[in-house]
Structure 1
Amino acid sequence: MPIAAKIRVQRMIKGYSQEYMAFRLDISQNAYSKLERGETKLTVRRFYEIAEILEISIDSLLPEN
C-alpha cells in the first residue's frame, strides 16, 4: 500500500478530518487532499509531522518490503 493511502487509513482510524489535518499542518485542505492522493510529494519533514499528529511511528507508514 502506498504511503499516501496508509496516511489516509490512519487518519480515518483516528477519526480526523482532512480539514483537521490541514489545520495542524498549516496548509489548505486542498493541499492536504493532494498529499493523501499522492499528487504532491511528501517531504521528510511533512512525513514526520503527519506521523506525529496521527501519534504513530513512521515505520507504520513505510512501504512493506
Structure 2
Amino acid sequence: MTLEPPFLIAESKSTNYLLVPLPRDDKSNYLRLADYQLANWSILEKDLLTLVETSEATFEDILFLVIHTA
C-alpha cells in the first residue's frame, strides 16, 4: 500500500520528541548513531519524507506506528 500525499511531519515531532533524550522510549540515541541531531533536525525530516514518498507501507508498519506513537 502506498500513502497518499501530502506528507506532513510536525517540526515538534523531531525537535521535541525524536531528537531529544527521553527517560522512556528514547529514540535520540539511535538517531544520533546516524548523525541526526537537534541542530540538523530538518535533514531528518527530509530523509523521513523521502522514505515515505519512495516506499510501500505494509499493514504491519502502520500498526507498529499506531501502537508506538500513541
TM above 0.5, yes or no, is no
Larger Rg: 2
Tell me the TM-score normalized by structure 2.
0.37
Structure (1 or 2) with the greater helix fraction: 1
